[in-house]
Structure 1
Amino acid sequence: MSSATTSFTATTTEIPGLLLFDVSRVDDGRGWFQEKFHREKLVSVGLPEEFNVVQSSVAFNVEGSTRGFHAEPWDKYISIIDGNAFAAYLDLRAGDSFGKIVTTELRPDNAVFVPAGVANSYQCLSALHYLYSVNKHWTPDAYELYTFVNLADPDLDVEWPIPLTEAILSDKDRVHPRLRDVAPISL
């Protein structure tokens, strides 16, 4: 690959702290190169300086897989390696933006920073590899600290590209509470 480097640009959203990043790549006759996470470059365009990655994980999902809304007790930086997905983010933090939703398409040329207390959900429009980094280690006990919301909640009015009746959902994601039954998260 050439010695050129990739760059990041950030866009703020209606959910405070939720950032969308465009991520460039370098192409040549052999293929391409891309930095998925470069702390210094990301901080220079808006990533919170206190976000220190302690764990990165990757998940493979088949087309139609849909992950329900889940807010975790840590910050998360999300990107995908290949494919594309529809993503929805729901602010569950106490305050004026509680219940606010932002949607976007996840592609290999973008990334998202999700602050603690903001639930994320995604629907795979193709098979894909989903890469995410967090600033606290996941443990089985941490699952008890998550807050879930039912992705089929009609009050959310999310227009899923693949109808949920045709999507692949876990049994757990089918029975989460509606937003109106969830207490705002105090961080």
Structure 2
Amino acid sequence: MPVKYGKPLVAHDTPIPGVLLIDLPVHGDNRGWFKENWQREKMLAIGLPDFAPVQNNISFNDAAGTTRGIHAEPWDKFISIAFGRVFGAWVDLRPGDSFGTVFTAELDPSTAIYIPRGVGNAYQTLEPNTAYTYLVNAHWSADAQSEYTFLNLADEDVAIPWPIPLGEAELSDKDRQHPRLRDLTPGRGA
């Protein structure tokens, strides 16, 4: 699927409070394409919080159907795609009325999403050789994993409509073992 060129920079609200879906301008010609993936002043102007990213991460995925998550981490994230396409799924795991609310969207290089801490993040690659990149506002460490909240990708209550059935997808054994929503304490895990 070709990259969508010429979209204006716009942030869209989602059903999960604080989660913003962003259209990114991508400029292309016969050589390829270019995008300004993150530009603080412009992002603040369209309504993103000033979350002060300190680390940039890239997850490369060989196969279509690679599925990762659902992880709510102790930092905010700005997620975009460098190459390929993903089906993204987000679940609010914070205490409050929106606990358990789900939002899904397809992301390609012309879209991004802002995810505040406490919202579970997952994705499934729709093309081989997909590069998923994200800015975070705290440094990763092995110790930080004790602060994650995990949710099972196959949870029946959130019922994420994965384009590639999980039985046919590439998942880690760890992700297969995460608890169900009914077993979570909002914001604190199982």
Q: What residue identity is the alignment partner of 1:40?
A: E
Q: What residue identity is the alignment partner of 2:175?
A: D
In the superposition, the TM-score normalised over structure 1's length comes to 0.93
Which structure 2 residue ranges, 5 or more long, are not aligned? 1-5
State the partner residue of 1:171: 173
SS where residue 165 of structure 1 aligns? Answer: helix
Instruction: Give, in angstroms, the shift of residue 26 of structure 1.
Output: 1.7
Instruction: Give, in angstroms, the shift of residue 120 of structure 1.
Output: 0.5
Q: What residue identity is the alignment partner of 1:95?
A: G
Instruction: Give, in angstroms, the shift of residue 108 of structure 1.
Output: 0.7
State the partner residue of 1:135: 137
SS where residue 173 of structure 1 aligns? Answer: helix
Separation (CA, whole Å) in 1 of partners of 2:179 and 2:132: 25
Contact 1:6 1:26 in 2 (8 A): no
The aligned length equals 181
Q: What residue identity is the alignment partner of 2:87?
A: F
Separation (CA, whole Å) in 2 of partners of 1:7 and 1:136: 29
Q: What residue identity is the alignment partner of 2:32?
A: G
SS where residue 168 of structure 1 aligns? Answer: coil
State the partner residue of 1:96: 97
Instruction: Give, in angstroms, the shift of residue 6 of structure 1.
Output: 8.5
Instruction: Give, in angstroms, the shift of residue 88 of structure 1.
Output: 0.5
Q: What residue identity is the alignment partner of 2:64?
A: E
Greater Cα shift, 16-25 or 31-40: 31-40
Query: How large is the Cα RMSD of the aligned pairs?
Result: 1.4
SS where residue 175 of structure 2 aligns? Answer: helix
Q: Which runs of 4+ in 1 moved over 4 A?
A: none
Identity %: 54
State the partner residue of 1:68: 69
Instruction: Give, in angstroms, the shift of residue 90 of structure 1.
Output: 0.2
